[in-house]
């Protein structure tokens, strides 16, 4: 765990504290949610396609199709972004661990 106080020193109130395991947990959650989005999107697309078939010949059907396509595009983007952020959180946790190890090695002269 890394702790930094408001003056840049370790500890103290008003600073921040980093728990790499918490970052890893958040990364895992982001990845799990990112994996679930495409399945949810498929269910929405299926229901929308059924509704569109009942609206053939109406402008509402083509508007529903356009709306559904846009939702799919946005949800696919959300899934990809959550996956990227999960990777970033994992890398950040690894960076903090490495910094702690390097600092400890510097203090012990190893």
What percentage of the chain has pLDDT greater than the value 70? Answer: 86
Report if residue 2 sits inside a domain: no
In a domain, 108, yes or no: no
Half-sphere exposure of 105 (CA within 13 A, CB side): 7
**Residue 13 banded pLDDT, cuts 50, 70, 90:** low
Residue 4 counted as domain residue: no
pLDDT at 5 over 60: no
C-alpha distances in Å from residue 107, one per residue of 30, 61, 103: 35, 69, 6
Structure tokens at 56: 């053939």
The DSSP letter of residue 45 is H
Summarised one tens digit per residue, pLDDT across range 17-52 is 899 999 999 999 999 999 999 988 888 888 888 888
Identify the domain containing residue 61 by its residue range: 17-101
pTM over 0.85: no
**Count of domains for the chain:** 1
In degrees, to the nearest 5, what angle opens at C-alpha 22 toward C-alphas 92 and 19? 70
Query: What per-residue confidence (pLDDT) applies to 10?
Result: 58
């Amino acid at each position: 765990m890394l702790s930094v106080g408001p003056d840049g020193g370790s500890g103290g109130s008003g600073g921040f504290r980093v728990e790499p395991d918490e970052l890893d947990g958040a990364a895992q959650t982001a990845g799990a949610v990112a994996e679930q989005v495409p399945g949810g999107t498929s269910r929405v697309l299926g229901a929308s396609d059924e509704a569109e078939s009942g609206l053939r010949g109406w402008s509402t059907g083509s508007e529903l199709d356009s709306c559904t396509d846009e939702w799919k595009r946005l949800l696919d983007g959300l899934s990809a972004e959550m996956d990227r952020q999960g990777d970033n959180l994992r890398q950040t946790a690894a960076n903090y661990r490495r910094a702690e190890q390097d600092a400890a090695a510097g203090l012990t002269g190893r």
